[in-house]
């Protein structure tokens, strides 16, 4: 789906191929340049011979080119140019160009000088005696050559890097625009479907009030539960009172399936002034019913105790299970809640799940945020007679 992967793809194989191709072309360009304008010691040599002789020099001169190109591409551009620090980017680029020229000059006066003298000795001892220019002349010429080469390769590498960055930003903007359009469409659907759902539940509730008080109570609890999940859980944090009320509604709905066969003990705080990530506790309670009480043919039981004290929430959940089942609580819900705890409460939670012979034990500790510092807490326990 990505256009021109050779230029824009971040896959390792494309990146390696892209970099290798760029430097191979640069090496061949420099090799031809040095061979067409050789030093005096090589002017009387055939062209192919000059190519062979100047290859080591060209490879050595690749070192300062590599230094400048990668410093620009991976240091200056991402850290200074893209964030808009253009003054520092200009200063850094000028410094890097002169450092590259100095590195090129140093290599020219050491490694390259040795290679040229060795080649001259191989060609003609008389020519070798001519390769002794003054130090300042040699250094000046080497600096100018280094500046010329570094500016060229640095400019080409920086242009390719900037083109790639601008392309990625454009693609990211297009993806964001597409996701925004999809989100708006989903929002329109979400506004339609809950409206139809709650109207239908309200009609069923009206019909069941005179027929079955138990059925109307279940519909009321289901309506409250759905309303919370659809309208409140899209926020990063919700009042803990709402979360606890939702847990109470869920437990009430589940217990109606067991008549009087389920032994359940629930202790919840009556009033709190804290915030919590939505649906953080429900997966544990859901598993207590799904993989505990519902699997027991005789005397199912659940014990839930939640305490809030000193900005900390302590939950201890114990439920029975059939004997002989020795495996950790199944389901994707617990795995998801573990990830959410790591993302939303890093260093501020402790979770321990014990799989005993005949019971599951969940201990959870959370450090909460205060919701209402002035103790001005709204009432969420309003009239429940209307669905």
The domains of the chain are located at 5-180, 238-370
Q: Burial, 364: exposed, middle or buried (Cβ in 10 Å; 0-12, 13-18, 19+)? A: buried
Hey, what are 348's tokens? Answer: 């501020």
* Contacts of 26 by beta carbon, 8 Å cutoff, 6+ apart: 62, 65, 153, 156
Q: What is the distance of C-alpha 68 from the center of its chain? A: 30
Kindly state the helix (H) or strand (E) to which residue 87 belongs, with its residue range.
Answer: helix 86-107
Q: What residues of the chain score a pLDDT lower than 50?
A: 1, 123-131, 373-387
Length of the chain, in residues = 387
- d(C-alpha 225, C-alpha 234), whole Å: 14
**Phi and psi angles of residue 50, each rounded to the nearest 5 degrees, phi first:** -65, -35
**What is the structure's pLDDT at 133?**
55
- DSSP-derived letter for residue 80 is I
CB 282 within 8 A of CB 253: no
Kindly state the helix (H) or strand (E) to which residue 27 belongs, with its residue range.
Answer: helix 12-36
The residue to which tokens 């002989």 are assigned: 324
Hey, what are 373's tokens? Answer: 């510092």
Kindly state the helix (H) or strand (E) to which residue 363 belongs, with its residue range.
Answer: strand 359-367
**What is the structure's pLDDT at 314?**
95
**What is the structure's pLDDT at 184?**
65
- d(C-alpha 86, C-alpha 76), whole Å: 10
Point out which residues pair with 239 in neighbouring strands.
275
- DSSP-derived letter for residue 43 is T
Alpha helix stretches (DSSP H) within 108-212: 113-123, 125-128, 135-208
**What is the structure's pLDDT at 233?**
78
**What is the structure's pLDDT at 136?**
60
CATH classification code of 238-370: 3.30.565.10
CA angle 154/160/165 to nearest 5° reads 120
**Phi and psi angles of residue 122, each rounded to the nearest 5 degrees, phi first:** -70, -35
Task: For residue 260, give Cα distances in angstroms to 63, 247, 292.
Answer: 82, 20, 17
The beta strand positions in 310-348, using DSSP E, are: 312-320
- d(C-alpha 139, C-alpha 46), whole Å: 28
Which one, of 81, 99, 101, lies nearest residue 90 by Cα?
81
Point out which residues pair with 302 in neighbouring strands.
264, 319
* Contacts of 109 by beta carbon, 8 Å cutoff, 6+ apart: 138, 139, 142
Buried b (16+ CB within 10 A) or exposed e, 3-37: eeeeeebeeeebeeebeeeebeebbeebbeebbee
Q: What interhelical angle do 12-36 and 135-208 show, nearest 10? A: 160
Local structure of 359: helix, strand or coil = strand
- Which 3-state string (H, E, C) describes 250-287? HHHHHHHHHCCCCEEEEECCCCCCEEECCCCCHHHHHH
């Amino acid at each position: 789906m990505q256009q021109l992967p050779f230029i824009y793809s971040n896959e390792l194989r494309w990146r390696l191929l892209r970099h290798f191709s760029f430097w191979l072309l640069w090496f061949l360009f420099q090799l031809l340049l040095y061979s067409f304008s050789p030093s005096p010691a090589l002017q009387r040599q055939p062209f192919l011979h000059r190519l062979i002789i100047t290859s080591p020099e060209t490879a050595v001169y690749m070192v300062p080119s590599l230094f400048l190109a990668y410093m620009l591409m991976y240091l200056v551009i991402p850290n200074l140019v893209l964030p808009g620090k253009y003054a520092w980017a200009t200063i850094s680029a000028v410094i890097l160009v002169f450092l590259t020229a100095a590195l090129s000059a140093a290599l020219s006066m050491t490694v390259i000088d040795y290679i040229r003298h060795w080649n001259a000795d191989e060609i003609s001892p008389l020519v070798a005696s001519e390769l002794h220019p003054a130090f300042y002349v040699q250094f000046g010429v080497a600096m100018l050559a280094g500046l010329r080469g570094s500016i060229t390769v640095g400019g080409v590498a920086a242009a390719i890097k900037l083109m790639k960055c601008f392309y990625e930003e454009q693609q990211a903007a297009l993806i964001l625009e597409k996701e925004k359009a999809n989100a708006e469409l989903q929002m329109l659907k979400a506004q339609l479907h809950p409206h139809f759902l709650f109207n239908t539940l309200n009609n069923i509730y009206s019909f069941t009030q005179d027929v079955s008080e138990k059925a109307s109570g279940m519909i009321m609890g289901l309506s409250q539960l759905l309303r919370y999940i659809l309208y409140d859980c899209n926020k990063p944090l919700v009042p803990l009172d709402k979360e606890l009320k939702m847990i109470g509604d869920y437990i009430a709905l589940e217990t109606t399936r067991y008549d009087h066969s389920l032994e359940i003990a629930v202790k919840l705080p009556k009033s709190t002034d804290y915030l919590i990530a939505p649906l953080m506790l429900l997966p544990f309670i859901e598993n207590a019913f799904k993989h505990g009480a519902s699997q027991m043919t005789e005397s199912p039981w659940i014990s839930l105790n939640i305490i809030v004290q000193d900005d900390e929430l302590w939950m201890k959940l114990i439920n029975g299970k059939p004997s002989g089942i020795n495996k950790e609580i199944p389901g994707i819900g617990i795995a998801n809640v573990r990830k959410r705890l790591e993302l939303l409460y890093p260093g501020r939670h402790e979770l321990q799940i014990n799989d005993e012979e005949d019971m599951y034990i969940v201990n959870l500790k959370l450090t909460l945020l205060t919701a209402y510092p002035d103790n001005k807490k709204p009432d969420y326990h309003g009239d429940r007679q209307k669905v």
